[in-house]
Amino acid sequence: MPQVRVIGEEGEQLGVLDIRDAIRAAREKGLDLVEVAATADPPVCRIIDFGKFQYEAKKKANEAKKKQVTITVKEVKFRPGTDDHDYDYRMKHAREWLEGGDKVKATIWFRGREMTHRELGARILEKLEKDLIEVGEVEARPRMEGNQMFIILGPKRHKSAMRDHPPQAATAKPALTPAPPATTPPATTPPVAPVTATSAASPAEPASPAETEQPKS
């Protein structure tokens, strides 16, 4: 009788069992026996709720699908004699697509004798590349296929990084070294005459009578 390695509901190892014993163990718990690794030796089975297992698997698949980035290639068409108004109209559409994350295929259609003037189409594609240089970059250079010439532009990869972290100046201006202050000879201070402290002048005392000369008679 074939044997399988059985994993329990909580992830515990139940060992290698006969297939009948494994099915019986699953039914006793009201669950299902699901094979999860058919190429293993012996095959690995797990006791789980199969309906819940399918629901979780579908949920994970939907979440993974949401995280996937879908890039669409949109086409804008020109003629060798496209005038400026029509060119601007198509160029604006191409800019919007690139900003939205899509690729742009710009095609020049040639008819009859226009095939002898391919340089006109090349000029239009060259102008388009220059006008969209801020949002797109060339992934396929202009080339001819039958009666059409085309170029493929992809979204600018480093646009967001350049916007969030603008580059610093390549070379910083050297700091100016201030000139040393001019040395001037110290000012000569004229010698100051010493100041002698003097007491306040006292009023003259009157002469005594004895000292006063009497007039001779």
- Order the strands of the 3-7 sheet from edge to edge: 13-18, 3-7, 44-48, 32-37
- The string of pLDDT tens digits covering residues 51-72 is 888 898 899 888 888 777 677 8
In a domain, 167, yes or no: no
* 83 domain residue, yes or no: yes
**81-104 pLDDT tens trace:** 889 999 999 999 999 999 988 999
Which residue range forms the structural domain that includes residue 29? Answer: 3-63
Per-residue CA distances from 32 to 6, 18, 138, 178 (Å) = 12, 15, 55, 86
**Weakest-pLDDT range from 114-123, 135-144, 199-208:** 199-208
The conformation of residue 27, written as its DSSP 8-state character, comes to H
Q: How many domains does the chain have?
A: 2
User: In the predicted model, what is the mean pLDDT of residues 141-162?
Assistant: 79
Reported pTM: 0.44
User: Do 41 and 105 lie in a common domain?
Assistant: no
The residues, ordered by sequence, that sit 6+ positions from 163 with a Cβ below 8 Å of its Cβ are: none
CATH number at residue 33: 3.10.20.80
What is the per-residue pLDDT for 108? 92
28 domain residue, yes or no: yes
Same domain for 8 and 40, yes or no, is yes
Q: Is the dihedral of CA 61, 69, 100, 127 positive or negative?
A: negative
Least confident of 129-133, 136-140, 167-171: 167-171
My answer on whether 154 and 109 are in the same domain is yes
**Considering 113, 133, 161, which residue would you say is the last residue of a domain?**
161
More confident residue, 48 or 167: 48
Residue 32 lies in a domain: yes
Q: What is the CATH number of the domain that holds 129?
A: 3.30.110.10
Considering the domain architecture, whether residues 141 and 80 belong to the same structural domain is answered as yes
Q: Calculate mean pLDDT across residues 178-203.
A: 48
Do 128 and 83 have their domain in common? yes
Task: Give a yes or no: residue 178 inside a domain.
Answer: no
Amino acid, single-letter form, for residue 20: R
The distance between the two most distant Cα atoms of the chain, rounded to a whole number of Å, is 183
Whether 120 and 87 map to the same domain: the answer is: yes
Choosing from 30, 63, 96, the residue where a domain stops is 63
| Residue 210 domain flag | no
Q: Are residues 93 and 37 in the same domain?
A: no
